[in-house]
Amino acid sequence: MLSRIKHKTTEILNPVTDVLVRLGMKPNHLTFLGLLTGIFSAFLIAKGHAKLGALAILLSGFMDALDGALARNKGMVTEFGGFMDSVFDRYVDIAIFSSLGFYGVDWFLVILALSGALMVSYTRARAEKIIERCDVGIAERGERMLMLVIGLLTGFVWQSVLLIAVLSHITAIHRMIHTYRLTSRSERL
């Protein structure tokens, strides 16, 4: 759902990307900073610093939005950059969800949420090999991270992880159904 406002975010971040270009920053630099910030957020959460971890997740998410905006605004989009961004996002997801187990969330719930998050990503990547776009669903990465941040800031951590687990798997199934509908329609023609 948040991916649908990507073009607006790119526009809003244009002044920031102008400054970054003058400083010699490239999208891959921001992608790497997002990875480091995401791993640092996981460290903070694992150590029991939920609110600081939540703020670090927001900073990591900002870097993730900024790298794409910089690439699009300044004509720096590369296939490898998109690939690296996706891979680093998965590493951050794994680190953050794993840290929740050390924080005290039941490991089974952590595994359900993490597997759902990974399946949302995988179903999109695999579907887009056979259909043009597959960004349907209610629990893309941005939404999942916002749910987690809210849980960490309010103290409703296990509840937010449960919500992420349920909505992530619903989103993955939604993407499977969406892809089936589009491919079966074209196969009938």
Kindly report, residue by residue over 13-60, the tens digit of the pLDDT: 888 888 998 999 999 999 999 999 999 999 999 999 999 999 999 999
Sign of the CA dihedral running 111, 112, 117, 123: positive
Q: What's the pLDDT score for residue 151?
A: 98
Query: What are the CB-based long-range contacts (under 8 Å, 24+) for 80-88?
Result: 81/27, 81/28, 81/31, 84/28, 84/31, 85/27, 85/31, 86/121, 86/125, 88/31, 88/32, 88/34, 88/35, 88/38
51-55, 73-77, 85-89: least confident range = 73-77
In angstroms, the CA 157 to CA 102 distance is 12
Q: What is the pTM of this model?
A: 0.91
Q: What's the pLDDT score for residue 180?
A: 96
Q: What's the pLDDT score for residue 1?
A: 60
Model pLDDT for residues 110-152, shown as the tens digit of each residue: 999 999 999 999 999 999 999 999 999 999 999 999 999 999 9
Domains of the chain by start residue, with CATH? 2-188 (1.20.120.1760)
Q: Which sequence positions are flagged as catalytic? A: 89
Q: What's the pLDDT score for residue 51?
A: 98
In angstroms, the CA 30 to CA 38 distance is 12
In angstroms, the CA 98 to CA 35 distance is 15
